[in-house]
């Protein structure tokens, strides 16, 4: 009887093990060549099926390890992750690529892509097509984007991506200045005039050529006036008049938020 139970128990365990094995999904790419995996991944990317392209590119990276094709697979995976809305994964993939391949001829592209991913995760270049501008978004991402672009133009000034990177850097600087002005105006409208002057001064000091400085100066004029600092208010007004002789702010007041700052840039 004990022998029978033991045999039955062994049979059940074997059956369970076999059942577990049979439930493991088969890898349809198991017998594919790297060329076929590459072709399938390109087809998925071409059709916009980014989520399907990523696992194929991961397979390709592993199967073609140590070859230029594996490096290309990494970069393509980062791009697919970015297009699929997986910003953090895309950045991680790019960081890994740059760590593993510091001498790669595609290093400039990796830096460019890192800048683009952080530049604006879902609005893209020319974000004025949306109702929201970069100055109201994640400032850490904007700063990380700037650093990636700065490294690109510093290390690879002749890169095919350097020109676009420089344009984006200008946009980022202007957006960071506008962020300071957003905050300064927020304080001003709530009667926190000392805080308003501090943030307006930061914009003027850190981003001296940004278009937002017109409004920063106007905030200084109004804030000093509200604080009873008439001389400082007059000084700020003189700078505003000299720097922006055609400014309408003293006459019309603050710009409406429906008039984005980039229209004046």
Quick one: what percent of the chain has pLDDT higher than 90? 67
Q: What's the pLDDT at 102?
A: 95
Q: What's the pLDDT at 30?
A: 76
Low-confidence spans in the chain with pLDDT less than 50: 2, 5, 7-8, 22, 121-135, 258-265
Domain ranges within the chain, ordered by starting residue: 38-170, 191-264
Q: What's the pLDDT at 5?
A: 46
- What the block records as the tokens of 258 is 């429906």
CA nearest 215: which of 190, 248, 263, 192?
A: 248
Q: What's the pLDDT at 15?
A: 53
CA nearest 106: which of 81, 77, 66, 75?
A: 75
Query: For the chain, what's the residue count?
Result: 265
Q: What's the pLDDT at 259?
A: 47
How many CB atoms are closer than 10 A to CB 191? Answer: 10
Region 38-170: CATH code: 1.25.40.10
Burial of 199 (0-12, 13-18, 19+ CB in 10 A): buried
pTM tops 0.95, yes or no: no
Q: What's the pLDDT at 261?
A: 41
Per-residue pLDDT reduced to its tens digit, 101-122? 999 999 999 999 999 999 864 4
Report d(CA 25, CA 12) in Å as an integer.
Answer: 22
Report d(CA 100, CA 265) in Å as an integer.
Answer: 40
């Amino acid at each position: 009887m004990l022998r029978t139970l033991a045999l039955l128990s062994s049979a059940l365990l074997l059956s369970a093990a076999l059942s577990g094995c049979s439930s493991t999904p088969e890898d349809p790419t198991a017998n594919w060549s790297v060329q076929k995996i590459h072709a399938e991944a390109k087809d998925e990317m071409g059709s916009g099926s980014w989520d399907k392209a990523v696992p194929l590119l991961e397979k390709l990276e592993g199967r073609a390890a140590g070859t230029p094709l594996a490096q290309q697979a990494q970069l393509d995976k980062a791009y697919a992750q970015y297009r699929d809305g997986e910003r953090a994964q895309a950045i991680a993939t790019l960081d890994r690529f740059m760590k593993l391949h510091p001498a790669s001829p595609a290093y400039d592209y990796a830096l460019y892509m890192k800048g683009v991913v952080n530049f604006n995760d879902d609005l893209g270049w020319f974000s004025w097509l949306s109702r929201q501008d970069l100055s109201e978004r994640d400032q850490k991402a904007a700063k990380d984007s700037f650093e990636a672009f700065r490294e690109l133009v510093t290390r690879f000034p002749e890169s095919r991506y350097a020109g676009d990177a420089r344009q984006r850097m200008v946009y980022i600087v202007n957006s960071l200045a506008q962020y300071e002005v957003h905050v300064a105006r927020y304080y001003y409208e709530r009667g926190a005039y000392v805080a308003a002057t501090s943030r307006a001064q930061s914009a003027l000091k850190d981003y001296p050529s940004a278009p937002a400085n017109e409004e920063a100066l106007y905030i200084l004029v109004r804030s000093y006036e509200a604080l009873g600092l008439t001389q400082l208010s007059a000084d700020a007004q003189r700078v505003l008049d000299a720097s922006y002789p055609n400014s309408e702010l003293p006459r019309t007041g603050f710009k409406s938020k429906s008039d984005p700052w980039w229209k004046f840039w």
